[in-house]
Amino acid sequence: MPEKLLDTNAAVAVLNGETSIQQLLTGVEKTFIPIARQQFMTGPIKAGEGTLIGNAGEYYVVAELLKRRIIAALAPRNSPAFDILATNGDKTVKVRVKTKSEGYNDWQWGAKADESIFQHLSEKEDFTVLVNLTNETKDLAFYILPTATVDDWLKKDFSEWAITPSKKGQPHDGNTKKRTLSYKKHQDQLKNYVDWDILWK
């Protein structure tokens, strides 16, 4: 499985000097990135292919980190608190990834029974990368934010939505667990979150 190239053992091996960053990058370039591209590019992204979209987004975030010589390891599938563990040698951060495909405006989450959105949310070393997945790699967009900021935006947006009548004048369902972040609404704010160095500040 390609994930083994990027697990925590691989990250530890680099930090211990057993494997060089270049060796890890070479392995990823030969094995991991082609698989990610094949998964995404073999056909149009359609509704219902959430796992495909999510996997591709995580692969590309790991690739972006490795390009910047950051050691990044995919968490075990369905880990509750993060998708990627990343370290620059001095600091380690957990990274959550949320991906939407080209043509869709919203990133989507599901609230838990207690109305929380992110499990084990922390004010420090906890980031979310919003990915806009496109057919052309050069058009990919990444927005790197503290997860607490995303959480705040989602809660405020949902509160506003819940008290705003629908187009038909009917009240929205305040009990729904669906939470969305609109690109159109936040695009000006998101322009301030394109620097990967925020992970280490």
pLDDT in tens, 83-112: 999 999 999 999 999 999 988 999 999 999
The per-residue pLDDT for range 138-185, each reduced to its tens digit, is 899 999 999 999 999 999 999 999 998 888 788 888 889 999 999 999
**What domains appear along the chain, each with residue ranges and CATH number?**
2-200 (3.40.1350.10)
The pTM score is 0.78
Cβ neighbours for 83, distance < 8 A, ≥ 6 positions apart? 58, 61, 74, 75, 95, 96, 97
Mean of pLDDT values over 21-28: 55
176 in Cβ contact with 102 (< 8 Å):
no
